[in-house]
């Protein structure tokens, strides 16, 4: 490998780089000189000027100069050497926790020092812990730095000095490297300002910012040079998704035409009329699938907005064309619920439903599989099992995925791939089903436009009429007894309640134990109630049975872990208590809360917290109390937790951005999309290079 790629761009051609260092650099995804130049500083520090001590702000990196006035070893909580340093404007404290005798002797009163480090807020003004320092005199001092000092993302065994040196060497060879402008002029229109900076100038500036460079802009990523690169990075990510979409859409899907008779039969037997938002989204899907270009569409809608029935209508259209439709749900409970709904809705249309889940085994499973393979079952509903094993479809025209959590790009693609692999018979491999993805809760706009750029998006932005809004109350756990009274009152009035136990550890066992303890406590305090307990450790069948008794009213109070988070629909439940609510993310809280407020009664959700509560936790509870709007909550969630958390920790790699920041640069996304499309049309030869430049060897989108 090294032998083959050993050319003038190889990282080992740099002074001081041998195989060992090259290996470490690989860990940072740095394989050649171009990679190095696109390894951009995280931040900058300013060692070009001396800051008067009186003007030093806490939490900034500064250079100061002064004379040691006092030097003493103090025995506080930790033994430390403390020096008071004074200049003509004021004094500050330097603290050294590690020091030797010689150091102590040299740092004596009267000595003059130049120090560099981060100022911290101390008891008496700012102080410095272990600053770097040099001895100075009145005549020949080392000059200060002439440029700002970049701080790079680093890894063990590679120092900042080393990275600075390597980037410096690479910059000198800039003109020999294939670092060309890859965005055609014609594409710049929307982001003229950002793209006016040339690529090379931007790289030079960012690795080597001149003393006059606007540090405050560089610090927050708003410098035009950073914006130039951020725009290109977002374009590259977008392109990689668009290319993927293109690749999928090269294979045809069956054209599934609208069948008005089937549609009307379906609509007429529904106990309600569709909202105008549901009708609009239904039209969007219908138009998509009547073409032979594969549909790749995401349906977003708030909790309870009625996504299922929209999916059912799409399935009706596919089935009316003689094709099969499959619906995959994230949990057993939800899959079961979908099955019950679909059976009711599809019976009048004479559509047979096949049903695959963990609890269907042996002979029963064979029968289901057979009906899927021979096409006698046109509608197939199930859990992940549906895509994970070799289920052979007779003629699948539409696959629908009801998402539990938002899958990251990578996961979603893997799922898609698996789906395709098992869905088509070898002879039909070239025909792919249309795809519909439904999210459990809304996705913040910026994430939808970046991580989901391969999908078209429909939004159901209206709730069915007659929904009562849910009153949300926030209570300290100390007032648990008041809440128990509330539960008693609600249940004796004939309504039902959920009590949700949460743990921060992602352990089914611990969570189940906590829920068991809570359930027995509650049973002691509320002996007159029938209390059920549901958690992830139960067998799928047990879970479904419990849910059914709750639905039938045989259980008054259901103590549950977050297994009930998604999709569960029991309209008579009008009260929900959530323990340790301060620890949960906003979207999860919103999703949980959406289990009540599904019927005609006034509903309430009580968020219990234990003090002390973090500022962030407090902010989340406040938002929950203030709004029921899932789209607003999604935006706030992004602001509080960042995209990595929202996509799920396992998916953070997906949106591993080097310089762009979805929050800061999100405003560019509509234009980014246009530009990426423009590049695809006007400079298709540059697409690979752009993706390679920014996504490097980890272009997982293309590989998935
Ligand atoms: P979600 O979007 O959260 O998946 P569901 O599809 O589960 O929501 O729908 C929530 C509830 O609202 C279900 O009981 C469903 O039957 C009902 N529903 C859906 N659409 C309407 C409508 N247009 N009018 C009244 N009820 C509706
Ligand atoms: Mg749903």
Question: What is the separation of C-alpha 252 from the centre of its chain, rounded to a whole number of angstroms?
Answer: 31
> 10: which DSSP letter?
B
pLDDT-derived band at 444 (thresholds 50, 70, 90) equals: confident
- Which whole number is the average pLDDT over 628-649? 74
Q: What is the pTM of this model?
A: 0.77
Task: Say whether 27 sits in a helix, a strand or coil.
Answer: helix
Question: What is the separation of C-alpha 388 from the centre of its chain, rounded to a whole number of angstroms?
Answer: 24
The long-range contacts involving 639-644, CB below 8 angstroms and separated by at least 24 positions, are: 639/663, 640/586, 640/616, 641/585, 641/586, 643/446, 643/447, 643/451
CB-based contacts of 22, cutoff 8 Å, min separation 6: 2, 11, 12
Question: For atom 19 of ligand 1, which residue has the closest CA?
Answer: 306
Ligand 1 mean position, distance from CA 375 (Å): 29
Task: Say whether 564 sits in a helix, a strand or coil.
Answer: helix
Question: For atom 24 of ligand 1, which residue has the closest CA?
Answer: 464
Question: For atom 23 of ligand 1, which residue has the closest CA?
Answer: 274
pLDDT at 19: 92
Question: For atom 10 of ligand 1, which residue has the closest CA?
Answer: 304
Parallel, antiparallel, or unpaired for β 557-560 and 531-534? parallel
CA–CA gap between residue 554 and residue 532 (Å, rounded): 9
> Contact 67/136 with Cβ under 8 angstroms?
no
| Predicted confidence (pLDDT) at residue 408 exceeds the cutoff of 60 | no
Question: What is the separation of C-alpha 234 from the centre of its chain, rounded to a whole number of angstroms?
Answer: 16
Q: Is 330 in the pocket of ligand 1 (CB under 6 A)?
A: no
Ligand 2 mean position, distance from CA 113 (Å): 66
| Predicted confidence (pLDDT) at residue 410 exceeds the cutoff of 90 | no
Ion ligand 2: protein residues whose beta carbon lies under 5 Å = 567
CA–CA gap between residue 233 and residue 221 (Å, rounded): 13
Q: Is 305 in the pocket of ligand 1 (CB under 6 A)?
A: yes
Q: Give CA separation, 662 vs 64, 413, 520, 667, in Å.
A: 36, 21, 46, 9
pLDDT at 2: 39
Ligand 2 mean position, distance from CA 302 (Å): 9
| Predicted confidence (pLDDT) at residue 65 exceeds the cutoff of 80 | yes
> Contact 326/418 with Cβ under 8 angstroms?
no
Mean pLDDT of the chain: 86
Phi, psi of 329 (to 5 degrees): -110, 155
Q: In 3D, which of 103, 486, 432 has the Cα closest to residue 247?
A: 432
State in Å, rounded, how far the first CA of the chain is from the last one.
Answer: 24
> Contact 439/311 with Cβ under 8 angstroms?
no
Q: Is 569 in the pocket of ligand 1 (CB under 6 A)?
A: yes
> Contact 226/664 with Cβ under 8 angstroms?
no
Mutate to test the pocket of ligand 1, among 276, 280, 303, 309 (most ligand atoms within 8 A of CB): 309
| Predicted confidence (pLDDT) at residue 653 exceeds the cutoff of 50 | no
What are 210-219's pLDDT values in tens digits? 877 888 888 8
> Contact 208/168 with Cβ under 8 angstroms?
yes
> Contact 355/372 with Cβ under 8 angstroms?
no
Q: In 3D, which of 495, 496, 514, 497 has the Cα closest to residue 505?
A: 514
The DSSP line for 205-266 is HHHS--TTS-HHHHHHT-SHHHHHHHHHHHHHHHHHHHHHHHHHHTS--------HHHHHHH
CB-based contacts of 143, cutoff 8 Å, min separation 6: none
pLDDT-derived band at 637 (thresholds 50, 70, 90) equals: confident
CA–CA gap between residue 162 and residue 675 (Å, rounded): 37
Mutate to test the pocket of ligand 1, among 304, 305, 381, 565 (most ligand atoms within 8 A of CB): 304
With residues binned 3-state (H G I as helix, E B as strand, rest as coil), the percentages for the chain, rounded to 5, are 45, 20, 35
> Contact 127/161 with Cβ under 8 angstroms?
no
Query: Which is more confident, 382 or 452?
Result: 382
Ligand 1 mean position, distance from CA 15 (Å): 66
Atom of ligand 1 nearest to the CA of 303: 3
Ligand 2 mean position, distance from CA 303 (Å): 7
Q: Is 404 in the pocket of ligand 1 (CB under 6 A)?
A: no
CA–CA gap between residue 637 and residue 662 (Å, rounded): 13
Query: Which is more confident, 380 or 661?
Result: 380
Q: Is 306 in the pocket of ligand 1 (CB under 6 A)?
A: yes
Ligand 1 mean position, distance from CA 301 (Å): 11
Atom of ligand 1 nearest to the CA of 307: 2
CA–CA gap between residue 543 and residue 425 (Å, rounded): 35
Q: Is 301 in the pocket of ligand 1 (CB under 6 A)?
A: yes
Ligand 1 mean position, distance from CA 443 (Å): 19
Q: How many helices (H) and strands (E) does the chain have?
A: 26, 21
What are 145-185's pLDDT values in tens digits? 888 889 898 877 788 888 999 999 999 999 888 888 888 87
CA–CA gap between residue 348 and residue 350 (Å, rounded): 6
Phi, psi of 624 (to 5 degrees): -60, -40
Q: Is 696 in the pocket of ligand 1 (CB under 6 A)?
A: no
Instruction: Count Cα neighbours of 631 within 13 Å in the Cβ-side half-sphere.
Output: 11
Ligand 1 mean position, distance from CA 594 (Å): 12
198 has which bridge partners? none
Question: What is the separation of C-alpha 77 from the centre of its chain, rounded to a whole number of angstroms?
Answer: 42
pLDDT-derived band at 349 (thresholds 50, 70, 90) equals: very high
**Please, what are the domains in the chain?**
53-135 (2.40.50.140), 260-460 (3.40.50.300), 470-627 (3.40.50.300)
Q: Is 61 in the pocket of ligand 1 (CB under 6 A)?
A: no
Which ligand does the CA of 311 lie closest to?
1
CA–CA gap between residue 32 and residue 487 (Å, rounded): 64
Ligand 1 mean position, distance from CA 196 (Å): 49
Q: Is 308 in the pocket of ligand 1 (CB under 6 A)?
A: yes
**Pure H helices in 38-137:** 101-106
Question: For atom 18 of ligand 1, which residue has the closest CA?
Answer: 306
CA–CA gap between residue 167 and residue 40 (Å, rounded): 9
pLDDT-derived band at 354 (thresholds 50, 70, 90) equals: very high
CA–CA gap between residue 434 and residue 494 (Å, rounded): 45
Atom of ligand 1 nearest to the CA of 571: 14
Atom of ligand 1 nearest to the CA of 308: 6
Ligand 1 mean position, distance from CA 274 (Å): 9
Q: Is 464 in the pocket of ligand 1 (CB under 6 A)?
A: yes
- Which whole number is the average pLDDT over 393-418? 71
| Predicted confidence (pLDDT) at residue 561 exceeds the cutoff of 90 | no
Instruction: Count Cα neighbours of 213 within 13 Å in the Cβ-side half-sphere.
Output: 30
- Which whole number is the average pLDDT over 668-692? 91
């Amino acid at each position: 490998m090294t032998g083959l790629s050993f050319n003038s761009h190889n990282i080992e051609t740099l002074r001081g780089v041998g195989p060992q260092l090259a290996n470490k650099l690989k860990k940072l995804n740095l394989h050649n000189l171009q990679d190095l130049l696109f390894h951009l500083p995280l931040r900058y520090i300013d060692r070009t000027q001396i800051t008067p001590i009186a003007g030093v702000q806490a939490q900034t990196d500064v250079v100061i100069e002064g004379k040691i006035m006092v030097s003493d070893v103090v025995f506080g909580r930790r033994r430390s050497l403390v020096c008071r340093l004074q200049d003509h404007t004021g004094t500050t404290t330097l603290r050294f926790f590690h020091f030797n005798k010689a150091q102590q002797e040299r740092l004596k009163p009267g000595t003059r020092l130049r120090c560099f480090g981060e100022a911290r807020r101390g008891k008496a003004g700012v102080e410095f812990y272990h600053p770097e320092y040099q001895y100075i005199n009145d005549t020949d001092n080392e000059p200060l730095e002439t440029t700002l000092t970049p701080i790079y993302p680093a890894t063990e065994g590679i120092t900042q000095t080393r990275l600075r040196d390597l980037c410096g060497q690479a910059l000198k060879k800039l003109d020999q490297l294939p670092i060309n402008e890859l965005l055609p002029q014609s594409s710049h229109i929307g982001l003229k300002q950002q793209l006016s900076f040339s690529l090379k100038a931007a790289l030079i500036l960012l690795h080597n910012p001149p003393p006059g460079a606007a540090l405050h802009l560089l610090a927050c990523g708003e410098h035009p040079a950073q914006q130039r690169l951020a725009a290109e990075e977002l374009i590259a990510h977008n392109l990689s998704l668009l290319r993927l979409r293109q690749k999928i859409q090269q294979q045809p899907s069956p054209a599934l035409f609208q069948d008005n008779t089937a549609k009307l039969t379906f609509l007429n037997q529904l106990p309600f009329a569709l909202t105008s938002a549901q009708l609009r989204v239904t039209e969007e899907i219908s138009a998509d699938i009547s073409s032979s270009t594969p549909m790749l569409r995401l349906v977003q809608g708030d909790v309870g907005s009625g996504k299922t029935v929209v999916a059912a209508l799409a399935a009706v259209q596919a089935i009316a064309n003689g094709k099969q439709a499959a619906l995959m749900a994230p949990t057993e409970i939800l899959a079961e619920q979908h099955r019950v709904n679909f059976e009711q809705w599809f019976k009048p249309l004479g559509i047979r439903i096949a049903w695959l889940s963990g609890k269907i085994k042996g002979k029963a499973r064979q029968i289901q599989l057979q009906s899927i393979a021979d096409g006698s079952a046109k509608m197939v509903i199930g859990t992940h099992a549906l895509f994970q094993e070799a289920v052979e479809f007779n003629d699948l025209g539409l696959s629908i995925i009801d998402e539990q959590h938002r899958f990251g790009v990578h996961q979603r693609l893997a799922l898609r791939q698996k789906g395709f692999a098992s869905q088509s018979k070898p002879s039909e491999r070239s025909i792919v089903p249309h795809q519909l993805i439904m999210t459990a809760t809304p996705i913040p706009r910026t994430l939808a436009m970046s991580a989901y750029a391969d999908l078209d998006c429909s939004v159901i932005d209206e709730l069915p009429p007659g929904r009562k809004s849910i009153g949300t109350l926030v209570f300290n756990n100390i007032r648990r007894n008041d809440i128990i009274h509330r539960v008693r009152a609600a249940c004796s009035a004939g309504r039902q309640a959920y009590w949700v136990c949460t743990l921060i550890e992602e352990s089914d066992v611990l969570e189940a134990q906590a829920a068991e303890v809570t359930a027995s406590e509650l049973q002691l305090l509320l002996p007159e109630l029938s209390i059920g307990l549901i958690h992830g450790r139960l067998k799928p069948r047990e879970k479904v049975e419990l849910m059914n008794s709750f639905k039938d009213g045989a259980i008054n109070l259901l103590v549950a872990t977050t297994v009930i988070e998604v999709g569960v629909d029991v309209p008579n439940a009008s009260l929900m208590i959530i323990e340790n609510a301060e620890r949960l993310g906003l979207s999860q809280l919103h999703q949980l809360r959406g289990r009540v407020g599904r019927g005609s009664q006034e509903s309430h959700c009580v968020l219990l917290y234990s003090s002390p509560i973090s500022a962030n936790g407090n902010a989340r509870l406040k938002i929950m109390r203030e709004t029921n709007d899932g789209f607003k909550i999604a935006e706030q969630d992004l602001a509080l937790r960042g995209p990595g958390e929202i996509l799920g920790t396992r998916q953070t790699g997906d949106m591993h951005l080097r310089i762009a920041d979805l929050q800061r640069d999100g405003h560019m996304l509509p234009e980014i999309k246009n530009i990426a499309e423009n590049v695809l049309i006007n400079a298709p030869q540059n697409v690979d290079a752009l993706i390679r430049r920014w996504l490097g060897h980890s272009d997982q989108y293309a590989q998935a």
